[in-house]
Chains A and B, each alone.
Chain A
Amino acid sequence: MAGLRRFPPYLSEMQEEIEGHARDYGLDFFPIIYEVLDYKTMNEVAAYGGFPTRYPHWRFGMDYEQLAKGYEWGLQKIYEMVINTNPAYAYLLEGNSLVDQKTVMGHVCAHVDFFKNNYYFSKTNRKMIDGMANHAALVRRHMARHGQDVVEDFIDTCLTLENLIDPMSPYISRVAPAKDGDDDDDARDGDDVPRMRAKQYMDKFINPPEYLEAQRKKKEEEKKRLRRRFPEEPQRDVLLFLIKNAPVDSWQRDILEIVRNEAYYFAPQAMTKIMNEGWATYWHSTIMTQKAATAAEIIDYADATAGVLASAPGRLNPYKLGIELFRYIESRWNKGQFGKEWDECDSLDAKRDWDRRLGMGRRKIFEVRRLHNDITFLDEFFTLDFCIEQKFYTFGFSERSGNWEIQSREFKKVKDQMLRMLTNRGQPFIYVEDANLENRTELLLRHAHDGTDLDLGQAKDTLRALHKVWTRPVSLLTRVEGKGKVFRCDDSTITEKPADYPA
């Protein structure tokens, strides 16, 4: 790789030292391979999401330009980067001070420990460097064959739909496996017409034959309706649905698959951002302050870490939130502030001085890092006490003043808002509702409205992209300012009409 420097011996000694400390603390990580990069190469690798090779696409160039500008203007600098592979690759910025490099190594150890042990990373491809390189080769081949513009244009289209996946699907099965003898079912519940409950002698009055007949008909119609319906259940993995059902060429299907595959690879990182950064910061800080930093280094170390943990108004710093919550959990479990007794105690004094000296904190946080993702992490451990102690608030746009304002410090509101932001990685839920709308092979998507309207301008453009893939008209059912609406895209013209939006 261009700009790669030989890994100097003093850094590899440092690596050995830091990893020794990390192992002593119980961190368990893949082997880590460090590379020292100059800032240009660092920006390049960062634009590629940490990978040395990606398929050709202008978006990476755009990210690169932004990173390069940020660096040149002194606004931002990437200290560290690490990717989820086995062995893990991590990058150090050439010319950083030794304290910084040490801190980064501690940080990286914890990230890799997290990648290796957190449940949500368990299904990711640990050979993704090869995966990305294969994607790149395949895309290049298609470009050579079909023309760069054509392929790039289609990649644009797919990237527009990139977030329409089902991030939880690797961990659960959405569809019950088909039972044997499915056909018999029909016959069996053919008789099983719902009856009103009645004593036997009253049955023929309460459930007269006409009524039963009507019920049977209704049921059959329902079944017919279901049979005509495709997909039978709404599907969240829109990309998968398109791969299986959209009338596209095989090279286009390849592109769809590549985009979907990479989206799933990156999804766990979005789902555990707070935990992952909190965990890494917790450990670099523990390793540095307890073991690795010399007296001469401690001020520089503290300065750098304070920068990482700084919070600005209206900004939720995942590093800060994560580390504070891990520390809070550790302290609670050290003091035994959990369980039935703790939950039922309503004396504030008793709670304040509660210390059972259990020392279970470390064990607990290791367990937490294994089992949770950001949502469950916050749902479980973001408590009233923590909320007050850490001064959380909700904010929103005030039409009255035309500013963004602090709205509330009420615990329930803060927590609800926080969970809402994290649900589905902060994105709207979109389902494939019907692929044969009005029996005309039109596609209908439904936005599961949860209180926030869609950005309509972008939604319309996204529909246009979807139309390119599906080729037949596509519609989106959503709610705008409380009213149901359907947007229909047919040959890049979008029409809009009111519709019933089931509550």
Chain B
Amino acid sequence: MSQRIDLDHGRFRQIIRGKIKQNLRKYISQGEMIARKGKDTVSIPLPQVDLPRFKWGDKQGGGVGQGDGQPGDALGQGQDKPGQGEAGDRPGEHMVELEVSLAELAEIMGEELELPRIQPKGTEKIVAWKDRFTGVRNTGPESLRHFRRTFKQALRRQISLGTYDPRNPVIIPIRDDKRYRSWRSEPLPQSNAVIIYMMDVSGSMGDEQKEIVRIESFWIDTWLRSQYHGIESRYIIHDAMAKEVDRDTFFRTRESGGTMISSAYKLCAKMIEDDYPPALWNIYPFHFSDGDNWSIDDTHACVELLKHKILPAVNLFAYGQVESPYGSGQFIKDLSEHFDDDQRVVTSEIKGKDAIMDSIKEFLGKGR
């Protein structure tokens, strides 16, 4: 049912979108949105959507209350003025929390960063069918017989026929009483895109660097999710050895030791080979490191892996080099040397949190 208020409400949401867009850089670099992530939405604190007025400053204000207590007793902790005025009045209006769906957020980011839409590989979407029990019907295989419904039906029939004897409650279902579960086959959109995140967790990658990776991957994730229906994520961490981990571990682990990037690429290539036939999958490996690879030989191995195994399979290979306290490494230069004119490789140097947004634009700006 459409309501009058929908127009005003839509207008309000539009204004909110504008505000989010304006402050996107701030939100992106602060990373506080990730902490506020719900299932499909994030709630965003927006300051002062309300209109300004001439009004009294807060602290000298004070007020009148009613109830027990001695002078000097606190009315509650902290700076916020206790609710005052009308019963059932709205809570403090300094900050408004707004729920925005991730899809909308991605759209806002897309508009602000002018990201092109991605053309997925392979026009046919892979769809699986999933059976779900949705109701009850009169015919079916015995294995799906619904015992309770059948029993009730038989009981009802016997009572109405007068053949039910409470002292000897024997219920005998006949064919018409029998009820069976019925199902429906539903199309299950199956992911045909995968993001493979790789992160260098060697000693030189500190918490700050990981935070940057975390924020950046959240936004990349949000964007790619808005482009593909259902998407898989895999996580690889490496120092001198690489292993696959879950999302949580990915962002938390801190190892020490050297850096052998080729180990991660090897694992990544294997993953693709085993699970994601390139003809059917849109594959996005993202690699984050401080670029301080162990040896020239290893870098050479990386280049070879990329050239022969990874690049032929993927839509885009992205390498983000995060600046660490020990400076920025050589790896990004090595990569650009070898793949400078290859459309499938994007490299980006992320100097700090403020640079995240530009880096996202570099990564996703190609529309691949």
Q: A residues touching B (Cβ–Cβ < 8 Å)?
A: 2-3, 40-41, 43-44, 47-48, 52-53, 56-62, 64-66, 70, 76, 152, 156, 159-160, 162-164, 273, 308, 310-321, 390-397, 401-409, 414, 417-418, 421, 426-428, 430, 447, 451-459, 461-462, 465
> Which residues of A lie under 8 Å from residue B86 when comparing CB positions?
273, 317-318
Smallest CB-CB separation from B14: which chain A residue?
A: A58
Given contacts A58-B15, A312-B83, A408 and B9 within 8 Å (CB-CB): no
> Which residues of B lie under 8 Å from residue A461 when comparing CB positions?
52
Smallest CB-CB separation from B81: which chain A residue?
A: A404
Within 8 A of A (CB), among B125-152: none
Instruction: Indicate if the CB atoms of B65 and A395 lie closer than 8 Å.
Output: yes
A286 nearest CB across to chain B (Å): 20
> Which residues of A lie under 8 Å from residue B52 when comparing CB positions?
160, 457-459, 461-462, 465
Kindly state whether residue B168 has any CB partner on chain A within 8 Å: no
Instruction: Indicate if the CB atoms of B1 and A2 lie closer than 8 Å.
Output: yes
* B contact face: mostly helix, strand, loop, or mixed: loop
Kindly state whether residue B49 has any CB partner on chain A within 8 Å: yes
Alpha-carbon distance between A40 and B9 when the two chains are bound, in angstroms: 13
Can you list 16 A-B contacts with CB-CB less than 8 angstroms, sorted by A residue number? A2-B4, A40-B1, A44-B4, A57-B8, A59-B8, A66-B96, A311-B65, A313-B76, A317-B86, A391-B66, A402-B79, A403-B78, A405-B73, A406-B69, A414-B64, A427-B53
Kindly state whether residue B174 has any CB partner on chain A within 8 Å: no
Alpha-carbon distance between A93 and B73 when the two chains are bound, in angstroms: 40
- The 9 A-B residue pairs with the shortest CB-CB distance, nearest first, are A314-B82, A61-B12, A396-B62, A461-B52, A61-B8, A61-B9, A403-B74, A44-B5, A58-B12
Smallest CB-CB separation from A158: which chain B residue?
A: B51
Query: With A2-B1, A427-B54 given, can you name 19 additional A-B contacts, CB distance below 8 Å?
Result: A59-B12, A61-B5, A64-B12, A162-B53, A311-B65, A313-B75, A314-B63, A314-B81, A314-B82, A315-B83, A319-B87, A408-B71, A414-B64, A417-B62, A421-B64, A453-B56, A458-B53, A458-B54, A462-B54
Given contacts A312-B83, A315-B82, A405-B74, A320 and B56 within 8 Å (CB-CB): no
**Of B2, B15, B71, which one neighbours A406 at CB under 8 angstroms?**
B71
Interface centre among A2, A47, A454, A458 (most CB of B within 10 A): A458
Alpha-carbon distance between A76 and B60 when the two chains are bound, in angstroms: 30
Instruction: Indicate if the CB atoms of B87 and A317 lie closer than 8 Å.
Output: yes
Number of A-B contacts (CB under 8 A): 222
Kindly state whether residue B70 has any CB partner on chain A within 8 Å: yes
Given contacts A64-B5, A404-B81, A406-B69, A455 and B62 within 8 Å (CB-CB): no
Instruction: Indicate if the CB atoms of A418 and B64 lie closer than 8 Å.
Output: yes
Alpha-carbon distance between A482 and B361 when the two chains are bound, in angstroms: 52
Alpha-carbon distance between A454 and B67 when the two chains are bound, in angstroms: 29
> Which residues of A lie under 8 Å from residue B8 when comparing CB positions?
47, 56-61, 64
Instruction: Indicate if the CB atoms of A159 and B61 lie closer than 8 Å.
Output: no
**Of B2, B9, B53, B84, which one neighbours A65 at CB under 8 angstroms?**
B9
Alpha-carbon distance between A320 and B64 when the two chains are bound, in angstroms: 13
> Which residues of B lie under 8 Å from residue A428 when comparing CB positions?
54-56
Kindly state whether residue B59 has any CB partner on chain A within 8 Å: yes
Instruction: Indicate if the CB atoms of A62 and B12 lie closer than 8 Å.
Output: yes
Kindly state whether residue B169 has any CB partner on chain A within 8 Å: no
Alpha-carbon distance between A273 and B85 when the two chains are bound, in angstroms: 10
Alpha-carbon distance between A417 and B63 when the two chains are bound, in angstroms: 7
Kindly state whether residue B166 has any CB partner on chain A within 8 Å: no
Instruction: Indicate if the CB atoms of B57 and A394 lie closer than 8 Å.
Output: no
**Of A163, A273, A406, which one neighbours B75 at CB under 8 angstroms?**
A406
A35 nearest CB across to chain B (Å): 15
Given contacts A392-B65, A428-B56, A314 and B4 within 8 Å (CB-CB): no
Interface centre among B59, B75, B86 (most CB of A within 10 A): B75
**Of A40, A405, A454, which one neighbours B57 at CB under 8 angstroms?**
A454
B91 nearest CB across to chain A (Å): 9
Within 8 A of A (CB), among B186-224: none
Kindly state whether residue B248 has any CB partner on chain A within 8 Å: no
Alpha-carbon distance between A62 and B55 when the two chains are bound, in angstroms: 21
B204 nearest CB across to chain A (Å): 42
Alpha-carbon distance between A380 and B70 when the two chains are bound, in angstroms: 27
> Which residues of A lie under 8 Å from residue B59 when comparing CB positions?
397
Interface centre among A48, A317, A318 (most CB of B within 10 A): A317
Instruction: Indicate if the CB atoms of B2 and A2 lie closer than 8 Å.
Output: yes
Instruction: Indicate if the CB atoms of A315 and B3 lie closer than 8 Å.
Output: no
Kindly state whether residue B7 has any CB partner on chain A within 8 Å: yes
Alpha-carbon distance between A308 and B87 when the two chains are bound, in angstroms: 8
**Of A163, A314, A321, which one neighbours B54 at CB under 8 angstroms?**
A163
> Which residues of A lie under 8 Å from residue B3 when comparing CB positions?
2-3, 40-41, 44
Kindly state whether residue B72 has any CB partner on chain A within 8 Å: yes
**Of A43, A57, A316, which one neighbours B65 at CB under 8 angstroms?**
A316
Alpha-carbon distance between A76 and B71 when the two chains are bound, in angstroms: 31
> Which residues of B lie under 8 Å from residue A62 when comparing CB positions?
12, 49-50, 96
> Which residues of A lie under 8 Å from residue B14 when comparing CB positions?
58
> Which residues of B lie under 8 Å from residue A418 when comparing CB positions?
64
Smallest CB-CB separation from B73: which chain A residue?
A: A406
**Of B4, B49, B56, B75, which one neighbours A455 at CB under 8 angstroms?**
B56
Instruction: Indicate if the CB atoms of A397 and B1 lie closer than 8 Å.
Output: no
Kindly state whether residue B11 has any CB partner on chain A within 8 Å: yes
Smallest CB-CB separation from A136: which chain B residue?
A: B4
Alpha-carbon distance between A373 and B59 when the two chains are bound, in angstroms: 28
Interface centre among A44, A164, A273, A316 (most CB of B within 10 A): A316
Alpha-carbon distance between A461 and B52 when the two chains are bound, in angstroms: 6
Alpha-carbon distance between A273 and B5 when the two chains are bound, in angstroms: 26
> Which residues of A lie under 8 Å from residue B81 when comparing CB positions?
314, 397, 404
Instruction: Indicate if the CB atoms of B5 and A48 lie closer than 8 Å.
Output: yes
Instruction: Indicate if the CB atoms of B74 and A397 lie closer than 8 Å.
Output: no
A275 nearest CB across to chain B (Å): 14
Kindly state whether residue B39 has any CB partner on chain A within 8 Å: no
Given contacts A58-B8, A452-B61, A3 and B1 within 8 Å (CB-CB): yes
> Which residues of B lie under 8 Å from residue A408 when comparing CB positions?
71
Within 8 A of A (CB), among B75-108: 75-79, 81-88, 90, 96, 98
Kindly state whether residue B165 has any CB partner on chain A within 8 Å: no
> Which residues of B lie under 8 Å from residue A406 when comparing CB positions?
65, 69-73, 75
Instruction: Indicate if the CB atoms of B57 and A314 lie closer than 8 Å.
Output: no
Instruction: Indicate if the CB atoms of A455 and B58 lie closer than 8 Å.
Output: yes
B223 nearest CB across to chain A (Å): 26
Smallest CB-CB separation from A47: which chain B residue?
A: B5
B20 nearest CB across to chain A (Å): 15
> Which residues of B lie under 8 Å from residue A44 when comparing CB positions?
3-5
> Which residues of A lie under 8 Å from residue B13 when comparing CB positions?
61
> Which residues of A lie under 8 Å from residue B68 when comparing CB positions?
391
Kindly state whether residue B162 has any CB partner on chain A within 8 Å: no
Interface centre among B14, B64, B85 (most CB of A within 10 A): B64
Instruction: Indicate if the CB atoms of A447 and B79 lie closer than 8 Å.
Output: no
Smallest CB-CB separation from A160: which chain B residue?
A: B51
> Which residues of A lie under 8 Å from residue B64 when comparing CB positions?
316, 392-395, 414, 417-418, 421
Alpha-carbon distance between A126 and B2 when the two chains are bound, in angstroms: 29
**Of A391, A395, A458, which one neighbours B63 at CB under 8 angstroms?**
A395
Instruction: Indicate if the CB atoms of B78 and A402 lie closer than 8 Å.
Output: yes
Instruction: Indicate if the CB atoms of B53 and A405 lie closer than 8 Å.
Output: no
Alpha-carbon distance between A312 and B82 when the two chains are bound, in angstroms: 9
Instruction: Indicate if the CB atoms of A60 and B54 lie closer than 8 Å.
Output: no
Alpha-carbon distance between A60 and B9 when the two chains are bound, in angstroms: 7
Instruction: Indicate if the CB atoms of B65 and A314 lie closer than 8 Å.
Output: yes
Alpha-carbon distance between A61 and B3 when the two chains are bound, in angstroms: 11
> Which residues of A lie under 8 Å from residue B7 when comparing CB positions?
56, 61
